[in-house]
Amino acid sequence: MRASRAALSAWSRTALVALLALLAVGCAGRADLIRRDLTARELDSLVDGKAARQLLAELLARRSPEQQREARAPSALTIDVVREEGDDPGAGPRRLPDQARLRELSRETSLDFAALSFAQALGADRLSRAVQASFDRFLDDGAARSEEALRRPGAFPYTVLFAPSWLYRSHPATGSDFAPQRRLLDRLGIANRLIETGESASIEDNAAALAAAVRAARRDKGGLILVSASKSGAEAAVALSRLLAPEETTHVAAWVNLVGALHGTPLVDDALRAPLSWLVRCIFWLQGWDWAGLASMATGPSRARLQDARLPESLAVVNVVAVPLSGSVGDKVRWGYRLLRRHGPNDGVVPLTSTVWPGGANIVALGPDHLFAPREDAAPSLALLRAIDVAVRLHAVTRAPSTDARARR
């Protein structure tokens, strides 16, 4: 009994604090993008070492207006991470480093260096560079100019379906119901709807609800944009790859995967193990939450669920990846960030590699953690809308040659 109490009061208590913080805030919040005009002292305060500081400075320099038009080669600092042996620059998209490689890199150098190396790898392909540059340019335009552009007739010819995240009904203040974004779209005259899902239901149950909503949206004019965040990212991936036939997704122009918990989180793995699971079960029972919803976010079932899953080639994927640094992690997820350090770079809730659907266009938000969802400043949301349209158009162009080649065969 003494051993059990000791175990609960040390590791399990820390894990419980991290999990309760996640449950309390849901999956949305506020965070700031790292600016390009930082002073040397500000750069030092964000990272955990000289190598990370140098790489952060390089990444920020690449986003300057004069550098946005022309992509550069990867830095020599991370050439082994971004490029594999025998990789030909003209051979197509590079494969991203896995979490094991990032964990190894964090031990060899530092956690922030590994996180920034992954951020650099995310922008190594031409599609991601183009979409990222568009997002940065639209962000520089400011909210007023972006809003004016989006109000033009036909500027954004899509209906937006929002897949709400964890506990979006009981914790609406977190923004996990996309209320600020929906109000913004209403103001712009852009059609949008929130999909009604179980706020603590399992990924499988909510995926079925998302699939039904996508089918029903075939009656809408124009294309469809499906937006998910955190847990609902896994639900969207299941719906699009497993539950919907390709002919049922021809109207889906894009899936926007915001900080998606595609492969679950080790925080849930900890919560499902005794003695911590005893306390967590009591909390769920008292709150009336569905235990199956938490269990579905464990890493084992999450990876098995999407193993060999494929999305229809007709739809574009936009991954919005939050890459926090040790000096930018918010208080609400700091416990989770520390617990997940042993797994390598993370956003305070999930390992970074678990937030990315392979082959999509990647927009990297340097600085924010998993709770990234700007609310007061509309500029990032407006810039993202414009960048999504760019991604959809570029996807249509890039897939045209392969379609023609198959037709010739």
Of 172, 319, 361, the residue nearest 194 (C-alpha):
172
- pLDDT in the model for residue 174: 72
End-to-end, the C-alpha distance of the chain in Å comes to 70
Per-residue pLDDT reduced to its tens digit, 142-165: 999 999 999 999 999 999 999 999
Question: Which CATH number, 3.40.50.720, 3.40.50.1820, 3.40.50.300, 3.40.1180.10, labels domain 2-29+129-408?
Answer: 3.40.50.1820
Q: pLDDT of the chain along its 409 residues, tens only?
A: 454 444 444 455 556 555 655 554 444 444 578 888 888 999 999 999 999 999 999 999 988 765 555 443 344 444 344 443 444 444 445 689 999 999 999 999 999 999 999 999 999 999 999 999 999 999 999 999 999 999 999 999 999 999 999 889 987 777 789 998 999 999 999 999 999 999 999 999 999 999 999 999 998 888 999 999 999 999 999 999 999 999 999 999 999 999 999 999 999 999 999 888 998 899 899 989 999 999 999 999 999 999 999 999 999 999 999 999 999 998 888 888 999 999 999 999 999 999 999 999 999 999 999 987 555 678 999 999 999 999 999 999 877 654 444 333 3
- pLDDT in the model for residue 406: 39
- pLDDT in the model for residue 361: 97
pLDDT, averaged across the chain = 85
SS (H, E, C) the chain: CHHHHHHHHHHHHHHHHHHHHHHHHCCCCCCCCCCCCCCHHHHHHHCCCHHHHHHHHHHHHHCCHHHCCCCCCCCHHHHHHHCCCCCCCCCCCCCCCCHHHHHHHHHHCCHHHHHHHHHHHHCCCHHHHHHHHHHHHHHHHCHHHHHHHHCCCCCCCEEEEEECCCCCCCCHHHCCCCHHHHHHHHHHCCCEEECCCCCCCCHHHHHHHHHHHHHHHHHCCCEEEEEEECHHHHHHHHHHHHHCCHHHCCCEEEEEEECCCCCCCHHHHHHCCCCHHHHHHHHHHHHCCCHHHHHCCCHHHHHHHCCCCCCCCCCEEEEEEEECCCCCCCHHHHHHHHHHHHHCCECCCCEHHHHCCCCCEEEEEECCCCCCCCCCCCHHHHHHHHHHHHHHHHHHHHHHHHHHHHHHC
- pLDDT in the model for residue 94: 63
- Angle, helices 276-287 vs 13-25, to 10°: value is 30
Return the domain boundaries, the chain: 2-29+129-408
Q: Is the pTM of this model over 0.85?
A: yes
